[in-house]
Amino acid sequence: MADTKKIEDRQERKKVKRAARKKAAPKAKRTTPRGSNKQKVKKLVRGQSKR
C-alpha cells in the first residue's frame, strides 16, 4: 500500500489508499479456513462449567 504517513489531511489520505488498493493485484483465494489456526476453546471450557 502507498506510504501515507506524510499526508496530514484524513480525506486526502483515504483517497490515496483507495487508489493504491484499486491498483494492487487481487489477493488469491484462501487455501485454509479463516479460523483454522486459532486456539480451540471448546474442550477448555468444560472444566469451568461448575464454577
Annotated domain spans of the chain: 1-28
| Alpha helix ranges (H) inside 1-51 | 10-23
Long-range Cβ contact pairs of 11-20 (< 8 A, separation 24 or more): none
Residue 51 has pLDDT above 60, yes or no: no
Please say whether the beta carbons of 13 and 22 come within 8 A: no
pTM (predicted TM-score): 0.49
Structure-model confidence comparison of residues 1 and 51, the more confident one: 1
Between CA 14 and CA 1 the distance in angstroms is: 12
Q: What is the pLDDT of residue 34?
A: 87
